[in-house]
Amino acid sequence: MASPGIEVSFATAPTAPTPAEKFAAKYGRPVHATPEADALWAAKKLPTSAPLRRLAAEYLWASDCAGICAVCEIPIDLQFRGNHPGAPTLDRIIPREDGGEYVWGNVRVLHRSCNEELAEGNLPVAVEWARELLSAKLRSVAGELTRLDILRIQIAHAALRLVEVRAELAGAGLSADATEERLRWVAQYQEQVTRWPGVAEIWERQARDREASEIGAGAKI
Ligand SMILES: [Zn+2]
């Protein structure tokens, strides 16, 4: 309790700028934005060294991306660093192979896991898929899931998507471009599902083992 005559101030001392704030001051979008200034900023190349890329990701995370991963729409936790599946990474919105440049206007922040799925062509068209994969990878870091569990999720979704794509293809009114795009999907997923021919047997064996242990547990009662 404050004694009479003593004024208590709740004003806090100015805090030192974070590295991301310092980075924003040096590389960030001009404060007084005009369309011209925005265009100049968007066309500016990003720094390429790993520590500066991380800071660029933190800066975008705090500004344009509002802390949300553009693929799975789950917040990105900056406590994750390096190769952690939840760590923030930079992603070209228009991919390099389509002429997308490494400039401020063409990057966004994704979880490492989401970025890797995208890079491998496992485009998480369904947000739920991306979320499930991310959650699986985070749980695998925590030792709760194995790589096989993650593989099972990937294949299950790939197979699901294949069925959807086939249904879409069977529908009417697809433009030539859309049809071509979907055919690419079919090819990708077909390959993905057939790449691991042993997995189906593993699942069957696991299911048999589970059944056997359930029967075993039932017999004990
Ligand atoms: Zn994500």
Ramachandran area for residue 82 (φ above 0: left; ψ -120 to 50: alpha; else beta): left
Ligand 1 centroid distance, CA of 111 (Å): 4
- Are 44 and 112 in the same domain? yes
Ligand 1 centroid distance, CA of 198 (Å): 29
- Binned at pLDDT 50, 70 and 90, residue 157 comes out as confident
Ligand 1 centroid distance, CA of 80 (Å): 13
Question: Over pLDDT 90: what percentage of the chain?
Answer: 22
Which DSSP category does 73 fall into? -
- Binned at pLDDT 50, 70 and 90, residue 217 comes out as low
DSSP string, 124-178: --SHHHHHHHHHHHHHHHTTSS-HHHHHHHHHHHHHHHHHHHHHHHHSS---HHH
Ligand 1 centroid distance, CA of 88 (Å): 9
Ligand 1 centroid distance, CA of 4 (Å): 54
- Are 31 and 97 in the same domain? yes
Q: Pick the residue with more confidence: 186 or 17? A: 17
CA dihedral of 160, 162, 163, 164, whole degrees rounded to 10: 90
Ligand 1 centroid distance, CA of 183 (Å): 26
Ligand 1 centroid distance, CA of 47 (Å): 23
- Of the candidates 125, 159, 194, which is a domain's last residue? 125
Which DSSP category does 57 fall into? H
- Are 117 and 20 in the same domain? yes
- The 10s digit of each residue's pLDDT in 83-110 is 999 999 999 999 888 899 999 999 999 9
- The 10s digit of each residue's pLDDT in 129-144 is 888 888 888 988 888 8
pTM beyond 0.85, yes or no: no
- Residue 14 sits at the vertex; the CA angle it makes with 11 and 17, to the nearest 5 degrees, is 150
- Binned at pLDDT 50, 70 and 90, residue 156 comes out as confident
Backbone phi, psi, residue 92, to 5°: -75, 130
Ligand 1 centroid distance, CA of 135 (Å): 9
Ramachandran area for residue 8 (φ above 0: left; ψ -120 to 50: alpha; else beta): beta
**How large is the average pLDDT for residues 169-177?**
59
Which runs of consecutive H residues, i.e. helices, occur in the chain?
19-27, 35-42, 50-62, 112-119, 127-141, 147-170, 176-194, 199-220
Ligand 1 centroid distance, CA of 89 (Å): 10
Q: Is the pLDDT assigned to residue 163 strictly greater than 50?
A: yes
Ligand 1 centroid distance, CA of 114 (Å): 5
- Cα separations (Å) of 162 from 55, 131, 188? 38, 19, 9
Q: Is residue 85 included in any domain, yes or no?
A: yes
Instruction: Give how many domains the chain has, as a whole number.
Output: 2
Domain of 167, in residue numbers: 146-221
**How large is the average pLDDT for residues 24-50?**
84
- Of the candidates 125, 155, 179, which is a domain's last residue? 125
